[in-house]
Copies of this chain bind each other. A is one copy, B any other.
Amino acid sequence: MSSKLTIQSIADLAQVSKATVSRVLNGYPHVRPEVRERVSKVIRETGYQPNNIARLLASERSSIIGLVISAGARMVFSDPYFSALTEAVSKGAAANRLILSLFVSYAEGQGHDTLNGILASGLFDGLILTADHRGDAFIPQLRAAGIPFVFVGRPSDAAGVHYVDADNRLGGYIATAHLLERGFRRVATIGSDQNTAGDDRVAGYRSALQEVGLPFDRDLVAYGDYSLESAYNAMRALLPREPEAVFVGSDTMSLGALRALREAGLRVPQDIALVSHDDLPPAVQADPPLTTVQQPIARTGALAVETLAQIIGDCGGFGALQTVLPVQLVIRESCGAAQAIGSR
The residues of A with any CB-CB pair to B shorter than 8 Å are: 1, 4, 47-49, 51-54, 56-57, 62, 64, 67, 75-78, 80, 82-84, 86-87, 90-91, 94, 99-104, 114, 116-117, 120-123, 144-146, 228, 255, 259, 262, 281-282, 285, 287
A104 / chain B contacts, CB cutoff of 8 Å = 87, 90-91, 94
**With contacts A80-B80, A281-B78 known, is A86 near B102, CB below 8 A?**
yes
A51 / chain B contacts, CB cutoff of 8 Å = 57, 121-123
Selected from B47, B77, B144, the residue in CB contact (under 8 A) with A84 is: B77
In angstroms, how far is the closest chain B Cβ from the Cβ of A300? 14
CA distance A120 to B56 in the complex (A): 14
B122 touching A4, Cβ below 8 Å: yes
**With contacts A104-B91, A285-B282, A287-B287 known, is A121 near B99, CB below 8 A?**
yes
Oligomeric state, in copies = 2
In angstroms, how far is the closest chain B Cβ from the Cβ of A46? 10
Selected from B53, B83, B99, B103, the residue in CB contact (under 8 A) with A53 is: B53
In angstroms, how far is the closest chain B Cβ from the Cβ of A102? 5
In angstroms, how far is the closest chain B Cβ from the Cβ of A67? 8
Which chain B residue lies CB-closest to A76?
B87
A53 / chain B contacts, CB cutoff of 8 Å = 53, 56-57, 62, 122-123
In angstroms, how far is the closest chain B Cβ from the Cβ of A124? 9
Which chain B residue lies CB-closest to A256?
B285
CA distance A280 to B94 in the complex (A): 28
Which chain B residue lies CB-closest to A144?
B1
Selected from B52, B86, B145, the residue in CB contact (under 8 A) with A123 is: B52
A99 touching B101, Cβ below 8 Å: yes
In angstroms, how far is the closest chain B Cβ from the Cβ of A250? 13
A102 / chain B contacts, CB cutoff of 8 Å = 67, 86, 90, 100-102
CA distance A104 to B298 in the complex (A): 14
Subset of 23 A-B contacts with CB under 8 Å: A1-B144, A1-B146, A47-B120, A49-B117, A49-B121, A51-B123, A52-B123, A53-B53, A53-B56, A75-B84, A77-B80, A77-B84, A82-B83, A86-B86, A90-B102, A94-B114, A99-B101, A99-B121, A100-B103, A259-B285, A262-B287, A282-B285, A287-B287
